[in-house]
Amino acid sequence: MLFNSLTFAAFLAVVLPVYHALPRRGQNVFLVGASYLFYGWWDWRFLSLLWVSTAVDYWAANRIAATSDPKKRNFALGVSLVTNLGILGFFKYFNFFVDTANASLEALGVPFNTSLLYIVLPVGISFYTFQTLAYTIDTWRGRQTPTADPVAFALYVAYFPQLVAGPIERAKHLLPQLEQDRVLTPQFLRTGITLILIGLFKKVGLADGVAPFVDEVFGEIGAFSSSSVLCATLLFCIQIYGDFSGYSDIARGTSRLLGIDLMVNFRQPYLAQNIAELWRRWHISLSTWFADYVYIPLGGSKRGPVRNAFNLVGMFALSGLWHGAAWNFVLWATLNGVCLLLFRYWSELPRNEGVEVAPFSLRWFAGNFATLTVFVLTALMFRSDGLAGVWTGYMALLLNPWWLGIEHVYVYATLAYGIPMVALDLWQYRSGEEEPMLASGRVFQGVLLGCAMIWVLVMGGVDLDVPFIYFQF
């Protein structure tokens, strides 16, 4: 069930009035059922995996909190880790590791051929697995008091607005809201509807609109001029940002209509003036998850420069593997980790320490340009089909003459879709609000909404029914 579908609109039209007519306990039970229906709409068989994660982590967290015996606490945590990571590893990485082993041994001349399995990746498994793991680990660390309400915990795991593509919520933020009475305030109603509309504009009007251009070039990337490859990569950056941040906006808006607040997952990352700031603004829930549960436990930056470099780049490499079971994702993330490490060394030089960069100053623009250059050039790896696709893409970008056969349609598309995306981000960035249009007059809001609807109908992908990119992760 896609957020950008009439099916979801009908689903929400039924869920909202019934939900608000019930008392809190009834609301939670009803939302659990609605969330299971929402998730089972793709494939009801994978509900069993969701139920296993829910049952195991509910038991493990309460078992950890009920005893002070380190062995029993570690055993319960181990059950949670093995179960959740085992399920994730099998469904997402089994074929990847088998294929890698086959290729490695074949290169060494060792006869070895293990057949691959036809495994369908359950939607959202990477997201809800990390969310439940965070709950159990925080309980083991003494930072989270587990809930005694199994319905509230089941809802925390399966809450449909953010179930399949985040944001990855922490229990300390979401769970207390599920355990208390909720009222739909006028502010939540206005901001919720506005966030949904912003998200649909990003998804349908921008991401789905550029998808055909991106698919055309990357489908046979070696045949296009370097200028077309560059434009297609820029268009992909528009696509993935519009797609994923659009999903997060719709998720947050839908949740607000239920009286529940979700964390902000994107804060105009393309306006960052350095690579560290970009990753603080991009997919915030995942970045903070890896920092809290991978980088810091490995020692963070407190064990010397060599260990810090290993921890930082290693964390990024793992995040690349989280994005997809392919080496191009690992390479993409590792290079971004190296760039972030180099920026840290540069920012710690005496002449750069403590220097404040004013927004929209010359130095700010220079930093923004350098940051986006790194992001765009590595984004080609993200979009490519495996390492072979990465090689072909960069060869086309570097060697195919840009002045021969410039396909102007890609240049026009880059400008046409890039300008409204940047304009919206600048408006949000300057105002400090995710819904800055609400501060405007009603007439201006009406005109803006009308223009956005026309844009979506004319320039968007309303007839494409394109799934959200991050559903595959």
Catalytic annotation, residues? 323
Buried b (16+ CB within 10 A) or exposed e, 268-290: bbbbbbbbbbbbebbbbbbbbbb
Question: How many C-beta neighbours within 10 Å does residue 426 have?
Answer: 15
What is the rounded CA–CA span in Å between residue 46 and residue 228? 41
Q: Any idea what the Cα angle at residue 21 is, between residues 15 and 27, rounded to 5°?
A: 65
What is the rounded CA–CA span in Å between residue 119 and residue 102? 18
Phi, psi of 110 (to 5 degrees): -95, 120
What is the rounded CA–CA span in Å between residue 231 and residue 237? 10
Nearest to 58 by CA among 127, 146, 122: 146
Phi, psi of 301 (to 5 degrees): -105, 15
Considering only the C-alpha atoms of the chain, give the largest distance between any 2 of them, rounded to a whole number of Å. Answer: 72
What is the rounded CA–CA span in Å between residue 8 and residue 38? 9
Phi, psi of 119 (to 5 degrees): -115, 125
Q: Locate tokens 């007439």: which residue?
A: 443
283-292 own/partner pairs: CB under 8 Å, 24+ apart: 283/166, 283/244, 284/167, 285/166, 285/167, 285/168, 285/169, 286/130, 286/166, 286/168, 286/319, 286/322, 287/319, 289/130, 289/134, 289/168, 290/315, 290/318, 290/319, 291/315, 292/134
User: Residue 233 has which token pair?
Assistant: 């990569």
